[in-house]
Amino acid sequence: MSDLEYVFGVHAVRAMLDRAPRRVKRLMLQRGRVDGRAQTLLDRAAAEGIGIERIAPEEMDKLAEGVHQGVIAQVTPSQLWSEEMLTHLLDRLDTPPLLLVLDGVTDPHNLGACLRSADAAGAQAVIIPRDKSASLTPTVRKVACGAAETVPLVAVTNLARTLKTLQQRGIWTVGTAGEAEQLIYQVDLAGPIAVVMGAEGAGMRRLTREHCDFLARLPMAGSVSSLNVSVATGICLFEAVRQRTGSGR
């Protein structure tokens, strides 16, 4: 059982049961927890023939990396997507791609929040560098509230090369940078687009920046110089949604 992973939190576990029940090998609930949400999870697990175990709170604390809400699922390991799998995904799309590229986001909470925003905005994939980036962890899945099971997370060896490959497919790359002259609202995001976000604090690396077709910034009217990367990601992705749906025009 050592090759299995843990998913914790009500929303993350429910997403696993709904979207990938075959990956769930055991459901663990905290002893004494009796409520509607717990019963829904129990019923769902029972319907799938998944083993159920009641364990002590202190045991759950040892298994989870954060607040588990009295619910933990033991699952087969998550799989990152490869560059080849991304190519196949793009080949099958019948709508203009909307991709999110994260250049070295190392905080798992930020990665989880970005996945959640990507799912909500209808992005087809999130692309990260294989090194110097957060990856799929129980914390990422919990923060993502199920989006980690629906949005492909693609890990690439060379991010700059991947951006070049996307450009060769006709996908425009739009990077975010505080010193950019144009606002994100002035960039055409209605077509095939990859939105590129930099790491926490440092922003995009030089090579990543050089491989962007456009640079854009968010208007900052207050005293702070930048937004949290997950907040900025949500703003940029939903500006693309606004343009694509014609809202506000």
227 assigned ligand-binding residue: yes
Tell me the pLDDT tens digit for each residue of 190-217: 999 999 999 877 789 999 999 999 999 9
> Could you tell me where in the chain the CATH 3.30.1330.30 domains are found?
5-75
- CATH annotation of 83-245: 3.40.1280.10
What is the reported pLDDT for 76? 87
Q: What is the pLDDT of residue 1?
A: 42
17 in a known ligand binding site: no
pLDDT at 225: 65
Structure confidence by residue, pLDDT tens digits, 122-163: 999 999 999 989 998 888 988 888 888 889 999 999 999 999
Distance CA 172, CA 97 (A): 10
pLDDT for res 223: 64
State which amino acid sits at residue 8.
F
pLDDT in tens, 60-118: 888 887 788 899 999 887 778 999 999 999 999 999 999 999 998 999 999 999 999 99
Q: How confident is the model at residue 220 (pLDDT cuts 50, 70, 90)?
A: confident
pLDDT at 32: 84
Nearest to 2, CA basis, from 55, 50, 63: 63
Fold of domain 5-75: 60s Ribosomal Protein L30; Chain: A; (3.30.1330)
- The answer to whether the beta carbons of residues 25 and 76 sit under 8 Å apart is yes
Pairing outcome for strands 24-30 and 5-8: unpaired
Residue 12 to residue 58: CA distance in whole angstroms: 20
- 198 among annotated binding-site residues: yes
Ranges of CATH 3.40.1280.10 domains, the chain: 83-245
pLDDT at 86: 95
For the chain, give the percent of residues with pLDDT over 90. 63
Average pLDDT estimate for 29-44: 89
For 54, the 3-state DSSP assignment is strand
